[in-house]
A and B are shown apart, each in its own frame.
Chain A
Amino acid sequence: DQQVKQNSPSLSVQEGRISILNCDYTNSMFDYFLWYKKYPAEGPTFLISISSIKDKNEDGRFTVFLNKSAKHLSLHIVPSQPGDSAVYFCAASGDTGGFKTIFGAGTRLFVKA
């Protein structure tokens, strides 16, 4: 039972263009959605998050959009840089204090110079 789905295993983008990574979820009880970035041989690191009461959160080149009615979120990276090449994981969690964080399968982003 995959509660968080990332249907694109990989994405290739030209440097300077926009990268759009997508994520779908099934559980309407999730309160927060997070994106993590992972380089090889390292643990994932937090990138950006959004509360379910918002529909957009922006941090520099990174913007996360949330569509609750569609149970869909996306991460936009613009402009994309070669250093952004990594695996991106979408994650969802409920109330802090008791609801475990569930991760998607990840999308490998390649940014070509």
Chain B
Amino acid sequence: GAGVSQSPSNKVTEKGKDVELRCDPISGHTALYWYRQSLGQGLEFLIYFQGNSAPDKSGLPSDRFSAERTGGSVSTLTIQRTQQEDSAVYLCASSPPGGEGEKLFFGSGTQLSVL
């Protein structure tokens, strides 16, 4: 089966523009995460979806960031009025229901560059 798919793999945008990043999780996985990794930094938690529960948005850095997960599957991370400090690799991960410790399966990420 296919792994976690993210698109686009690279996105270059101008400061002030809006961007949408897409994540297709592994089929049947109920949990979906967005993380970002800025240059030389670790994985910063952004948002977490688990089944039909309300998402945990505690990691979103500002109200310019939002995410949706439609039908419990595909997720879109939207960044409005992008700033240069938003430049990072945005990683999506999913995990199956149950199991030990929510082992995460990551996509290859979207490299976002804000000029």
- A interface with B by C-beta (< 8 Å): 6, 31-34, 36, 41-46, 49, 51, 89, 91, 93, 96-106
> Number of B residues whose C-beta is below 8 Å from A?
27
Can you offer 30 A-B residue contacts whose CB atoms are under 8 A?
A6-B42, A31-B101, A32-B100, A33-B101, A34-B104, A36-B106, A42-B108, A43-B4, A43-B91, A43-B93, A43-B109, A45-B106, A46-B103, A46-B104, A49-B100, A49-B103, A51-B100, A89-B42, A96-B97, A96-B101, A96-B102, A98-B50, A99-B102, A100-B33, A100-B56, A101-B33, A101-B102, A102-B45, A105-B42, A106-B43
Determine the distance from Cα of A102 to Cα of B53 in the docked complex, in whole angstroms: 19
Check: B71 CB closer than 8 A to any chain A CB: no
Determine if A93 and B106 form an interchain contact, defined as CB atoms under 8 angstroms apart. no
Check: B65 CB closer than 8 A to any chain A CB: no
Interface residues of B in 60-115 (CB under 8 A from A): 91, 93, 97-109
**Known contacts A45-B106, A100-B56, A89 near B100 by CB under 8 Å:** no
Determine if A106 and B42 form an interchain contact, defined as CB atoms under 8 angstroms apart. yes
Could you say which residues of chain B place their CB within 8 Å of the CB of A51? 100-101
Determine the distance from Cα of A45 to Cα of B109 in the docked complex, in whole angstroms: 12
Determine if B48 and A100 form an interchain contact, defined as CB atoms under 8 angstroms apart. yes
Among all A-B residue pairs, the 5 with the closest Cβ atoms: A32-B101, A43-B106, A105-B42, A103-B43, A100-B48
Could you say which residues of chain B place their CB within 8 Å of the CB of A97? 50-51, 97
Determine the distance from Cα of A33 to Cα of B101 in the docked complex, in whole angstroms: 7
Nearest A-chain residue to B111, judged by Cβ? A41
Could you say which residues of chain A place their CB within 8 Å of the CB of B91? 43-44
Nearest B-chain residue to A2, judged by Cβ? B42
Determine the distance from Cα of A102 to Cα of B42 in the docked complex, in whole angstroms: 11
Could you say which residues of chain A place their CB within 8 Å of the CB of B93? 43
Could you say which residues of chain B place their CB within 8 Å of the CB of A46? 103-105
Determine if A41 and B101 form an interchain contact, defined as CB atoms under 8 angstroms apart. no
Nearest B-chain residue to A41, judged by Cβ? B108
